[in-house]
Amino acid sequence: MTHSNLPAYRPAQIALHWFVMVGVIVQIAIHEPMVRETTAQYRGVAPDPSDATLAMMHGLIGTLVFVAVLVRLWLRFRYGAPGHAQGTSSVQAAIASLVHNALYACLLAMGITGMLTRSGVANLGDLHFFINVAMFVLIVLHAGAAIFNQFVRKDGTLARMIPALRK
Ligand code: HEM
Ligand code: HEM
């Protein structure tokens, strides 16, 4: 099947989608120094200075991801999305939309709970952790569905986010 005439996401939407994905992977990889520093902060003891750089990076990259998600949502409201691939049943379309909305909600909630915890307003570290687990499950489902649709159903779903796959 040719996908070159299928509607795709705008370049900015594509760039931000993959930026957010890389950001989330980095965040999960560097969370431990942030947890140690925050535990010390809320116990009122001095944090280990060797955790400072990576903890600062977790806050910085997380904030950039949060801003990128806000820009993505703005682009989504401004320009919309290409809609589901041809041949997608209404049930599949409803599940895909639900997962996309849940992913946006988790991304926003990660940023908000992280910032409130880091700034000392409220210790929402447990919530931050549980949302991260839920988001991880959704990401696995989401990526699995995209790969299945692209390579088994061959409906060009992934080509909407990876223009090089368009043919
Ligand atoms: C999508 C973006 C983010 C992801 C995927 C992420 C991921 C994580 C993970 C996996 C943990 C470890 C949770 C635990 O084991 O208890 C963590 C901890 C933490 N993160 Fe994030 N994070 C994100 C954004 C942020 C932001 C924007 C901030 C603040 C500016 C932040 C601040 C924190 C803090 C303070 C902790 C320690 C919480 C605790 O002590 O329990 N995070 N993050
Ligand atoms: C941190 C990881 C990820 C997050 C948070 C995420 C989030 C999202 C969201 C919220 C959308 C909906 C965009 C919109 O319509 O506004 C989307 C679309 C999409 N994502 Fe991801 N994604 C992630 C990783 C991946 C991966 C690993 C793949 C591929 C293997 C992928 C493939 C796609 C595709 C193909 C679409 C378009 C779906 C369609 O047109 O129906 N995503 N993603």
pTM listed for this prediction? 0.95
Q: Are 71 and 92 in contact (CB under 8 A)?
A: no
Query: Which residues have CB under 6 Å of ligand 1?
Result: 24, 27-28, 31, 34-35, 38-39, 58-59, 62-63, 65-66, 107, 110-111, 114-115, 117-118, 125, 128-129, 132
Q: Which residue has the higher pLDDT, 8 or 137?
A: 137
Please determine, for residue 110, whether its predicted confidence score (pLDDT) is greater than 80.
yes
CA angle 128, 130, 136 (to 5 degrees): 100
Does some domain include residue 151?
A: yes
Does some domain include residue 166?
A: no
pLDDT reported for residue 87: 87
Name the percent of the chain lying above pLDDT 90. 89
pLDDT reported for residue 1: 45
Number of folded domains that form the chain: 1
Does some domain include residue 25?
A: yes
Quote the mean pLDDT of the chain. 94
Does some domain include residue 53?
A: yes
Q: Is 131 in the pocket of ligand 2 (CB under 6 A)?
A: no
How far is CA 71 from each of CA 17, 89, 93, 157, 167, rounded to the nearest angstrom? 11, 29, 24, 22, 29
Does some domain include residue 1?
A: no
Q: Is 71 in the pocket of ligand 2 (CB under 6 A)?
A: no
Does some domain include residue 167?
A: no
Does some domain include residue 6?
A: no
Distance from C-alpha of 139 to C-alpha of 159, rounded to nearest angstrom: 18
pLDDT reported for residue 5: 60
Which range marks the domain in which residue 121 is found?
11-161
Does some domain include residue 35?
A: yes
Please determine, for residue 2, whether its predicted confidence score (pLDDT) is greater than 60.
no
Interval 47-88: pLDDT, tens: 999 999 999 999 999 999 999 999 999 999 999 998 888 889
CA of residue 136 relative to chain centroid, distance: 9
